[in-house]
Amino acid sequence: MQLITHADALAARETLTRQLGTAGPVRTPLLPVPESERDRPLLLKPESLQPIGAFKIRGALHATATLDERTRSRGIVAYSSGNHARAVAYAGRAFDIPTTVVVPRTAPETKVAAARALGAEVVLVEVAEREARAERIAAETGATLIPPFDSPAVIAGQATVGLEIAEDLRSREVPAATVLVPISGGGLISGVGAALAGADARIRLIGVEPLLAADTREGLRAGHRVDWPVAERTRTRADGLTAQPSELTFEHIRTFVDDVVTVTEEEIGEAVGHLATTCGLVAEPSGAVTTAAHRHRSAELPTGTTVAVVSGGNIDSERLISSLAG
Amino acid sequence: MQLITHADALAARETLTRQLGTAGPVRTPLLPVPESERDRPLLLKPESLQPIGAFKIRGALHATATLDERTRSRGIVAYSSGNHARAVAYAGRAFDIPTTVVVPRTAPETKVAAARALGAEVVLVEVAEREARAERIAAETGATLIPPFDSPAVIAGQATVGLEIAEDLRSREVPAATVLVPISGGGLISGVGAALAGADARIRLIGVEPLLAADTREGLRAGHRVDWPVAERTRTRADGLTAQPSELTFEHIRTFVDDVVTVTEEEIGEAVGHLATTCGLVAEPSGAVTTAAHRHRSAELPTGTTVAVVSGGNIDSERLISSLAG
């Protein structure tokens, strides 16, 4: 199986810059948290500050950018629990092409409204039907399906997060850091792993899952993918972390990821509150799992500089209030 | 009167980089807000993401960096309604020198605790006494007083915000933008004005004040500084915007600022909620006034690309919850 490489990540960044310029992803900084422990200083990578509030914009824009112009003009379609839908809607607007997103009825209203506001047609379906419906739309209209993670072009787009982390760690002269990345379908951690491995072999990469959706940790220990029932995986409040790796992303994870740690629902909620009150960042639960791991799983993590990727910030105000109220 | 120049801003950045490297201020990006109106696209400059949660870190670090080593070793002292105290505490830790901050009893607990956590000695006093007490401490210990705004070195430090905005606007190819900056003592807008005027004369600079603390707007119209009683100025929820310009900053404002607009308390609260739910940023009321102006004072503002400086993010969770709850 062909894995994404550091060179693919560099090429993806070049494509994004050439085709989109400053309409592409924001180059997010690493934000030091002065309140973090001295033996484990924390740097946040706030992908929650991307125009659509999540890293997903990188993969969606890159996958759309790599289509030939004629194919692209027929439009794009996606299925997603939320942020990928919004990212594809953003990509559709950026390239001015017809865009349809298939969203489960259970997705937070914020995410659905945002995709609509970006001009996409939104189709609401049951969770189990979303993939089939998106494929049917693609077949009927000639639009291209942009997968949420099971795609080399999408993974290469997410890999640009890893390029930036490696560069910023180098300028801080802390090459042997630990990087924490949430795992759901595994597109983000696959790309980040490929980029980091090619940039500096001393950087450790650790995945983070909710304890209630820890299929990847179990799969890595078993040596093969394991399947958790949807009803189990969707118990977590981290609604963006309920997918499971594909063969492609699982192979990346097996190759590039040093370990996976899990966090509880209470720890995720506490981290959402901490990020808001101490770090100035609104994170959705899925985006806060890495900060939760740094705060509550330090015994399972290496000491030294730690980077927590805050992957998204799209949270309804009611849920943010409840995390703030503790 | 000698005003800060673009060259001073460049020199300040050079000093910060040389002496502090990545322990200096974060180079914050411009964040596009896709939800903003098409004829008035909004870019946020999130100074709330600095390590101490506010732009004040720039001036405090620069003023401390420019002291000769012997003077600096005797320590630094500051009086402040909060964020400047925290910034000076951060500077004291960065240079490893004794640091005292004099804080009014009315300052939010978040800000006081944060200064203490950075190792500063915190002295709580009545608002009216803070300046005299800080000066006495300086006289007794040989420490240098770092003023919150009435200082060329502090203004030059804040000016680095303006350099970054001008550079990022240039790379976006939108030179004729409008930049919105909060006004309190005027250190930030003085520095930003100096940096922008030297970078691109087409950029318009507009100050924002709470209607309840609009002494600078009144002063600009009168052609001289006006004095509002403390009891009036402190009615606003924007607790970081209750100071008044000095002669030095007022002269910068008169030279560099095109206009001043005001926002109501309701508009400030709404903007805090909007920044959190739509832009992923926790802003304190003082940091949200520029976004409030963009959202609610568009009739008084030019069309075209607008940059809102989100100057700080230190807000107690109770107040954040109340803004989120609307």
The model's pLDDT over B60-110, given as tens digits with 9 standing for 90+, comes to: 999 999 999 999 999 999 988 689 999 999 999 999 999 999 988 887 777
Secondary structure letter of residue A67 according to DSSP: S
Chain B residue with CA closest to A111: the answer is B278
How many angstroms separate the CA of residue A80 from the nearest CA in chain B?
A: 20
- Residues A29-51 as b or e (16 or more Cβ within 10 Å = b): bbbbbbebeeebbbbbbbbbbbb
Which residues of chain A fall below pLDDT 50? Answer: none
Instruction: Nearest by CB to A280, from B21, B32, B282: name it.
Output: B282
B318 burial class (0-12, 13-18, 19+ CB within 10 angstroms)?
exposed
Inform me whether the C-beta atom of residue A2 falls under 8 Å from chain B C-beta atoms.
no
Q: Which of A279, A286, A319 is most worth mutating to test chain B (most B CB atoms within 10 A of its CB)?
A: A279
* Chain A residues touching B34 at Cβ < 8 A: 51-52, 90, 93, 117-118
**Average pLDDT, whole number, for chain B?**
95
| Cβ distance of B26 and A27 shorter than 8 Å | no
Cα–Cα separations (whole angstroms), residue B3 to A91, B9, B145, B208? 46, 11, 21, 21
| Host H or E run for residue A310 | strand A306-310
Q: Which of A56, A165, A171, A324 is most worth mutating to test chain B (most B CB atoms within 10 A of its CB)?
A: A324
Inform me whether the C-beta atom of residue B152 falls under 8 Å from chain A C-beta atoms.
no
| Cβ distance of A171 and B46 shorter than 8 Å | no
Which among B269, B210, B272, B271 has a CA at the least distance from the CA of B243? B210
Cross-strand partners of B178: B204, B306
Looking at residue B326, its pLDDT comes to 80
Q: CB neighbours (10 Å) of residue B265?
A: 16
| Cβ distance of A320 and B26 shorter than 8 Å | no
ipTM: 0.94
Spell out the domains of chain A, with CATH numbers in brackets: 6-49+151-325 (3.40.50.1100), 57-145 (3.40.50.1100)
Q: What SS3 class is residue A307?
A: strand
Q: Which of B47, B316, B320 is most worth mutating to test chain A (most A CB atoms within 10 A of its CB)?
A: B320
Q: Which of B281, B311, B322 is most worth mutating to test chain A (most A CB atoms within 10 A of its CB)?
A: B281
Chain A residue with CA closest to B315: the answer is A277
Inform me whether the C-beta atom of residue B119 falls under 8 Å from chain A C-beta atoms.
no
Give the residue-averaged pLDDT of B43-70: 97
Instruction: Nearest by CB to A280, from B29, B171, B313: name it.
Output: B313
Give the residue-averaged pLDDT of B293-320: 96
How many angstroms separate the CA of residue A86 from the nearest CA in chain B?
A: 11
How many angstroms separate the CA of residue B247 from the nearest CA in chain A?
A: 33
| Cβ distance of B29 and A32 shorter than 8 Å | no
Looking at residue B123, its pLDDT comes to 94
pTM for the whole structure: 0.96
| Cβ distance of B324 and A313 shorter than 8 Å | no
| Cβ distance of B320 and A325 shorter than 8 Å | no
| Cβ distance of B171 and A28 shorter than 8 Å | no
| Cβ distance of A46 and B51 shorter than 8 Å | no
Looking at residue B35, its pLDDT comes to 83
Instruction: Nearest by CB to B282, from A52, A276, A325: name it.
Output: A276
- Which amino acid, A228? W
* Chain A residues touching B325 at Cβ < 8 A: 317, 321
Instruction: Nearest by CB to A28, from B29, B32, B33: name it.
Output: B29
| Cβ distance of A22 and B172 shorter than 8 Å | yes
Give the residue-averaged pLDDT of B30-34: 95
Strands B204-210 and B259-263: parallel
- The separation between CA B103 and the C-alpha centre of its own chain, rounded to angstroms, equals 17
Looking at residue A81, its pLDDT comes to 66
* Per-window interface: A 20-39 vs B, CB < 8 A: 21-22, 26-29, 31-35
| Cβ distance of B49 and A31 shorter than 8 Å | yes
| Host H or E run for residue B305 | none
Chain B residue with CA closest to A316: the answer is B277
Instruction: Nearest by CB to A320, from B48, B52, B324: name it.
Output: B324
* Chain B residues touching A48 at Cβ < 8 A: 280
The pair of three-digit structure tokens given for residue A255, joined into one six-digit string: 């190759």
In this structure, the dihedral spanned by the alpha carbons of residues A317, A115, A309 and A240, taken in order and rounded to 10 degrees, is 80
Inform me whether the C-beta atom of residue B90 falls under 8 Å from chain A C-beta atoms.
yes
Give A163-179 as a 3 state SS string: HHHHHHHHHCCCCCCEE
Which among B121, B6, B14, B19 has a CA at the least distance from the CA of B64? B19
Contacts of A173 (CB under 8 A, 6+ apart): B22
d(CA B144, CA B73) in angstroms, rounded, equals: 10
Looking at residue B189, its pLDDT comes to 98
Instruction: Nearest by CB to B324, from A29, A173, A321: name it.
Output: A321
B240 burial class (0-12, 13-18, 19+ CB within 10 angstroms)?
buried
| Cβ distance of A26 and B27 shorter than 8 Å | no
* Residues B168-223: tens digit of each pLDDT: 999 999 878 999 999 999 999 999 999 999 998 899 999 999 999 999 999 999 99
Which among A87, A43, A91, A85 has a CA at the least distance from the CA of A66? A91
